[in-house]
A and B are shown apart, each in its own frame.
Chain A
Amino acid sequence: MSTNSIDTIMSGYEVVIGIEVHVQLNTKSKIFCSDSTSFGAGDNENISPISLGMPGTLPTLNKGVLDLAIKTGLALNCHIRAKSFFARKNYFYPDLPKGYQISQYEVPICENGFVEFSVEGQPRKVSITRAHLEEDAGKSTHFPEHTLLNYNRAGIPLLEIVSGPDMKSAKEAAEYCKTIRSIVQYLDVCDGNLEEGSLRCDCNISVKKVGEKKLGTKVELKNLNSFRFIEKALEFEIERQIDLCLSDKKIVQETRLYDPDKNRTYTMRLKEDAQDYRYFIDPDLLPIIVTDDKIKQIQKAIPELPIKKAARFVKELGLSTDEAEILTSDKALADFFEMTSKESGYSKQASNWILGEVLRYTNEHHQTIQQIKVTPKSLSDLIKLIEQKIISTKIAKSVFNEMMDSGNSAASIIDRHGYKQVTDVDELEKLIQKVLDSNSSQVDEYRQGKEKVFGFFVGAVMKLTKGQADPDVVNQLLKEKLSGRKI
């Protein structure tokens, strides 16, 4: 299926995507009461009369939530309002304890920002319309005869980041979501876990004829719990909508879900008549006041963000843009790299090892970088051993695997197996002579111009040393010998 914007333009249509990301702020307690926010608590364990909205109870703002919202807003280059308000969004649903959700409506805390990232090497800038605070609702689990309600999530603080309708392809949308995730992870305001729902990306998508000013009917895609699904669902939706347009059929305004097994989207609910939420400022909560001093103080605590870090890795550590982008996509990975690079003194090698062996291992074993047994220090030791020619790269790989499995140091593993690179020229010369002596016909072939045989000699020497010979030294010595000078 064709998905990039060039193909869609060729069909005469262009795609407009805007995204609402719900970021669950990682405070210990809920936004308006002291209930715990811990994930995985038993059903209805993290509740109280306040989060259940029982008669007479009132919300009071958790100030920690405010700091995290400001921090995120600043990282998204937003203007932070000196005064903003909480409003009530009124609608009935059993998992909404008060019959209204406390959110921010006309006057959000953060607005008019942007994020920068790149899509396939091309720089992109997406505007952030607003980022506002709100409380999460509870969770309904439906059965044929009944519905179970779990209010643990009711009152969990969320920051809803609303992008402008700036994105033009599924790939770009997915990259945008990844960027938001890496920013909130860098800021340590959210763990960014899509599967547990601590980061939720709802995509609004419409198509229109190229050059048309008026936006087409938009469809909202919800519950997309991986970046891959975001991309796949949008790809499907783009094609579905363009097909409808091409066959003169109407696009229905609705909310759709994505079925990853069938790789298609399907209707969740129609939005024919827009619901009237009867928003008004919540009289139970005072306006949120943010002083300049507060903003300055929080600004100071913002760490280097991925895009800047990547640029620095390229400029100062000599990595390629691709390498730097992958390493900085996750703060833990970037930190791991930076520590390894610093400790070993070999940036490029550190990058190669992490992007190669380390990521291969974490992917295969479904582990995070924090969970593995190799540390930046132990990986640095390994890299140094290679650079000091004590072991070959090939042996280093098996040492690495054992380090990952056992957590032992490279040195102890090498010791135990007797791995040691043979770099002693005298010793190697003897071995090479032995190989050449017992393969005289191949020596003749080589000397008659059949240079391919060279590899055969290298292999034979390595075999004799159980792979521990320094290949550079072997190559050099072999060349000298075969040229006849020393035979």
Chain B
Amino acid sequence: MDLLQADLSAVTEAIQNKKISAVETTQFFLDRVQKLDQHLNAFTYVSNTAVKEAELLDQKIAHGENVGPLAGVVFGIKDLLCTKGMPSTAASKMLSGFVPPYDATVVSRLKKAGAIILGKLNQDEFAMGSSNETSVYGACHNPWDKSRVPGGSSGGSAAAQAARLTMATIGTDTGGSIRQPASFCGVVGVKPTYGRVSRYGIIAYASSLDQAGPIVSSVKDAALTLETICGQDSYDGTTSDHLVEKFSQNLNGNIKGKKIGVIKEFVQHIPDAHIAQSFQLALDTVKQLGAEIVEVSIPLTQYAVPMYYLISASEASSNFARYDGVKYGYRTPHDKTSNLSLDDFYSLSRGEGFGAEVKRRIMLGTYALSAGYSDAFYLKACKVRRLLRQQFLDAFEKCDLIMGPVTTAPAFKLGEKSVDPLKNYLNDIFTTSTNLCGLPGMSVPFSTAREGNSILPIGVQLTAPHFQEQSLLNFAYAIENTTPAADFRKLKPHVY
């Protein structure tokens, strides 16, 4: 069995039918991490219990016990998610040494379904960034071109998956952190509807925007993973009791007669020729599949980036207040040698523990929430957010799904953009609206761009009305099997 190409369902079936053991599979991917991750730096921690867990699973299977629908599937988990007994640091010095005594609900659901957790994956510090360059563990590299970024913040998840160091991964998406790296690395990434997936145990960045989702190799795998992690959780009051369909069993690639919305304000301003070309090709392709293209106008999308940065930074400034050096994580060593005041203790611990981008956003958020400023910044952003949501709901009156580009350009070079934060922020233009409105969105690999010797993947973005993950996945399933997407799937990245 080709573990690098097989569907998750096929692998788990083979394991459950004892055609291949969970130990073998786990060892296979551990070996790949051992051999290839030196080129990528996608892993921040590799489990030393994975093989043992696989053994237990094999024993269960041998005893004819019931194992879950992901039995033996080898997962990599973004470091932002808490994993019991494994370091969970959000790629920050501030949480160095933090090993939680609990699993995130997403992780416990995967484990319950029989998944094997191979280790933790690199990311931007506290999920703040879109290049994976703000990680305390150092940058992660794009498997298609090691001189380029994998995107972020879930860069490690996308890179590991593209290079098949894992069978599947979990990322998180606050403003595009699943979809953008998925597009840069040529893998499938889904950001579910806000409230679909429990945030419990996911180190919070922006509570009203964060969602976890799969970054995997195919739409089918995305569907299977998603149906496992979705659903109401008593530990997260913001999760919905909305029915979770068996997405993987209902996949249907027939999109004939579907109305596909294109946001006028987006397509007018695609700055990169590769992206513009790819998107035009995507429109032509879905038309050939019988879908109808409808232009919709969502004027407030032009404010999505400032709205996103005001709201996410404000929430983060409060969420990160708990990292004070008192209870866990990093504490300034000056604490031991000098008699610090409480304020100095805080300032030093936080000043030394947080990286530059995190500090920038804490300051931005603190300012936006301050008395005298919050009306003009935070609260105004919240009000516009409501209006933006309404504009999206209105647009969905005219179409079933919205299709657009994911990024403003293919993967950029390491170091290229980290100097100008504002310019970096503007790259989030196509992804942030989805989070602000709580909508489900995904990125599907579609075509490629050639940059010198490199082939760079380009994804297409889909956005659906709330809780319509099934139609999102169905549409992606249709695209996945067309030219050029199907051709892309035959390509292998440089690191593989």
Contacts and interface: CB of A to CB of B under 8 A. Distances in A.
Do chains A and B interact in one complex? yes
Interface of A: 49, 52-61, 88, 90, 92, 94, 97-100, 149, 276, 278, 280, 282-286
Given A60-B234, A90-B321, A283 B207 contact: yes
Contacts of A56: 81-82, 88, 100, 104, 199-204
B371 A57 contact: no
Given A90-B318, A278-B374, A284 B237 contact: yes
A58 B374 contact: no
B318 A55 contact: no
B238 interface: yes
B472 interface: no
A258 to B, nearest CB: 25
Contact of B98 (A55, A97, A280): A55
B238 A284 contact: yes
Contact of B322 (A60, A99, A280): A99
Contacts of A276: 370-371
Interface string B94-106: 0100101110100
Which of B102, B317, B318, B320 gathers the greatest number of chain A CB atoms within 10 Å?
Answer: B318
Contacts of B104: 56
Interface of B: 81-82, 88, 90, 95, 98, 100-102, 104, 199-204, 206-208, 234-238, 314-315, 317-318, 320-324, 326-328, 342, 346, 366, 369-371, 374, 378
B327 A278 contact: no
A286 B101 contact: no
B90 A55 contact: yes
A107 to B, nearest CB: 14
B203 A278 contact: no
A49 B327 contact: no
A22 B394 CA distance: 46
B324 A49 contact: no
A61 B324 CA distance: 25
Contacts of A286: 237-238
A52 B327 contact: yes
Contacts of B378: 280
Contacts of A53: 322
A92 B95 contact: no
B236 A55 contact: no
A213 to B, nearest CB: 26
A49 B374 CA distance: 31
Contact of A92 (B90, B237, B314, B346): B346
A58 B322 contact: no
Contact of B102 (A49, A97, A280, A285): A49
B237 A60 contact: yes
Contacts of B200: 56-58
Given A54-B100, A58-B236, A280 B318 contact: yes
B369 to A, nearest CB: 4
A104 to B, nearest CB: 16
B369 A278 contact: yes
B237 A97 contact: no
Given A49-B100, A278-B374, 10 more contacts: A55-B100, A55-B204, A56-B88, A59-B237, A60-B235, A90-B321, A94-B342, A99-B318, A278-B366, A285-B238
Nearest to B365: A278
Contacts of B236: 58, 60
A48 to B, nearest CB: 9
Contacts of B342: 94
A98 B88 contact: no
B232 to A, nearest CB: 11
B409 to A, nearest CB: 32
Contacts of B235: 58, 60
Contacts of A280: 314, 318, 369, 374, 378
9 contacts: A54-B100, A55-B90, A55-B100, A56-B81, A60-B237, A88-B318, A99-B320, A276-B371, A285-B237
Nearest to A278: B369
A99 B237 contact: no
B90 A58 contact: no
Given A97-B322, A276-B370, A54 B237 contact: no
A194 B322 CA distance: 31
Contacts of A99: 318, 320-324
Contacts of A52: 327
B166 to A, nearest CB: 21
Nearest to A93: B342
Contacts of B328: 54-55
Contacts of A97: 322, 327
Given A49-B100, A60-B236, A94 B326 contact: yes
A66 to B, nearest CB: 13
A49 B204 CA distance: 14
Instruction: Return the 3 tightest CB-CB contacts between A and B, nearest first.
Output: A99-B321, A283-B208, A283-B207
Nearest to A61: B237
A55 B203 CA distance: 5
Contacts of A285: 237-238
Contacts of B203: 55-56
Which of A58, A92, A97 gathers the greatest number of chain B CB atoms within 10 Å?
Answer: A58
A49 B237 contact: no
Nearest to B80: A56
B59 to A, nearest CB: 31
A353 B366 CA distance: 63
B435 to A, nearest CB: 12
Which of A54, A55, A100, A284 gathers the greatest number of chain B CB atoms within 10 Å?
Answer: A55
Contacts of B234: 60
Contacts of B207: 282-284
Contacts of B346: 92
Contacts of B202: 56
A61 B238 CA distance: 11
Which of A52, A53, A94, A149 gathers the greatest number of chain B CB atoms within 10 Å?
Answer: A94
Contacts of B201: 56-57
A284 B210 CA distance: 11
Nearest to B236: A58
Which of A52, A59, A94, A283 gathers the greatest number of chain B CB atoms within 10 Å?
Answer: A283
Given A55-B95, A94-B342, A284-B238, A278 B82 contact: no
B374 A92 contact: no
A278 B320 CA distance: 14
B48 to A, nearest CB: 22
A298 B326 CA distance: 42
Contacts of B98: 55
A464 B214 CA distance: 100
A52 B90 CA distance: 18
Contacts of A58: 199-200, 204, 235-237
Which of A57, A59, A61, A99 gathers the greatest number of chain B CB atoms within 10 Å?
Answer: A57
B321 A98 contact: yes
B322 A55 contact: yes
Contact of B82 (A55, A59, A282): A55
B88 A92 contact: no
A98 B200 CA distance: 15
A49 B318 CA distance: 18
A98 B317 CA distance: 12
Nearest to B315: A283
A278 to B, nearest CB: 4
Contact of B371 (A88, A149, A278, A284): A278
A282 B206 CA distance: 11
Nearest to B199: A58
Nearest to A52: B327
Contacts of A57: 102, 200-201
A272 to B, nearest CB: 16
A464 B81 CA distance: 91
A97 B327 CA distance: 8
Given A55-B90, A60-B235, A98 B100 contact: no
Contact of A278 (B237, B318, B324): B318
Contacts of B95: 55
A253 B98 CA distance: 42
Contact of B321 (A59, A61, A100): A100
